[in-house]
Every structure is written in C-alpha cells, then in structure tokens.
Amino acid sequence: MEATDTETTERTPTRSRLQQRLHELYALKTHSKALLKRFNRLYVEYEDWFNRHRQSFLDAIKCTQLAVTTLLPRDITTMRHFRAVRRMAMRLEKAGLGVYCSERLDDMLSFWETFCELIEELSDSLMADVRSFADSVTRMYDPQLQTEMDLLHQLLTLQSSEEFDFGDLRSSQHTLYTYRIMLCDYSFQGLVSLLPNLLRLAARLCHLVTRMTVEKE
C-alpha cells in the first residue's frame, strides 16, 4: 500500500531531524579526532624530550633551588611552584650570579602552555558543543557515556589547574615515568608525570566523544 501525501509529510520532519542530528554528531567526532591527534603528538614530543633531556632539566631545577634555598619551595608540587623556579632562574641570570638554568626550564613551560591551549579548546569548544548536543536529543544510545565524559572532564579540569597538587602522582605505579628518574630525584616524579598523565586523560575523553551515538527520535 502506498503512503498518502499526509503520511509522507508527517514522516519527513522526523527524518530531517535525524539527519540534522547525525550531521552535528559527525562534526563533533571530526573535531574530537583532530584534537586527539594533537594531544597524541604532544605526548610523543614530550616523551622524546624527556628521554633526551630529563637529567639536565632536573639539574637546572636543583641548581636554582640551591642558589636561593630560602626563597623557593623545597618540593615542587604545583605548576605555580615550577613557574616560580623558572622566574627565579631568569632573575639569577640577569643578576650575573653564575646560574644559567632558565633555558633548560623553558621546554617544560612550553609543553605546559601548549597543553593548556588544547585544554581550553577542548573545554570551551568541543565539550560545550557535546553538552549542547546531548541536551538537544531525546535519547542517547548509551546514556552512561555522557556521565563518564562529564566525570572525566571534571577530573581533567581539576588536574589542569596550576594550583593542583600533583604530589600524589609520585606514588602511582601506573605512570610510565615513575621509574625513569634516579632515586635521588624522587621528589620530582610528580612534576615530570603530570603532563603525560593529563594527556592520557584528554585522549581518553576525545575517544569517548567518538563513541557517541543517538537513537532515532
């Protein structure tokens, strides 16, 4: 039996809404995959730098701390602490006090600032669009996926703060960086493990976005 003109007209908007949702979902996944590639590239670049320059980097921190023992924190447990060490290293160089370490600290800061730019795009653009999309559909195929993404995004936002205390990362046996530095530098494990840990979380979040699907309304 052929459908009447009325039935065809009634079904057309439903198909159009579904097509629009699928188009929006495709755009979200495309953006997520592009961000994932950038997070992965940063991870590879950081790992390469760490393997080649970790000891000179850590020695630069210790040299700066020893030069002004009372003006810098003994343990670096936040990125704000690290910025303070770098600023002091630059001041010592300008004062001509024979401590030339700031250049060896710049790479870490560059990695961190690149990561922060990516996180800003992830939060303000991709995840904002994801939430808007989720609110606009009647039903997600996997409702738990949205909950998992929200929780992961909250964790990522918390740990990306320059006030976040990453001291506990030193005791994590799951980080690949736990056993790559000498025992005498154990106090720096949180610092060198922070970025790869955050990059893994960000990559996981991007991957979850690519798994989003919707049911027909």
Q: What is the pLDDT of residue 114?
A: 98
Mean pLDDT of the region 199-213: 95
pLDDT at 203 over 50: yes
Q: Is the dihedral of CA 36, 38, 44, 47 positive or negative?
A: negative
Q: What is the pLDDT of residue 99?
A: 65
DSSP line for 149-204: HHHHHHHHHHHTSTT---GGGGG-TT-TTTTSS-GGGGGGHHHHHHHHHHHHHHHH
User: Distance between CA 155 and CA 93 in Å, rounded?
Assistant: 38
51, 134 contact by CB (below 8 A): no
Instruction: Read off the pLDDT of residues 90-140 as tens digits, 9 standing for 90 and up.
Output: 888 888 766 667 888 999 999 999 999 999 999 999 999 999 988 887 766
Instruction: Read off the pLDDT of residues 133-150 as tens digits, 9 standing for 90 and up.
Output: 888 877 666 778 989 999
196, 47 contact by CB (below 8 A): yes
For residue 182, give the amino acid letter.
Answer: M
* Burial of 63 per CB tally in 10 Å (0-12, 13-18, 19+): middle
Q: Write the CA distances from 59 to 124, 181, 183, 209, integer angstroms.
A: 37, 12, 14, 40
- pTM, two decimals, is 0.85
Q: How many residues are listed for the chain in this entry?
A: 217
> What average pLDDT does the structure give for the chain?
85
Which two three-digit tokens encode residue 48?
């390469």
Q: What is the pLDDT of residue 175?
A: 56
26 versus 167: the higher-pLDDT residue is 26
Instruction: Read off the pLDDT of residues 24-80 as tens digits, 9 standing for 90 and up.
Output: 999 999 999 999 999 999 999 999 999 999 999 999 999 888 888 778 888 899 999
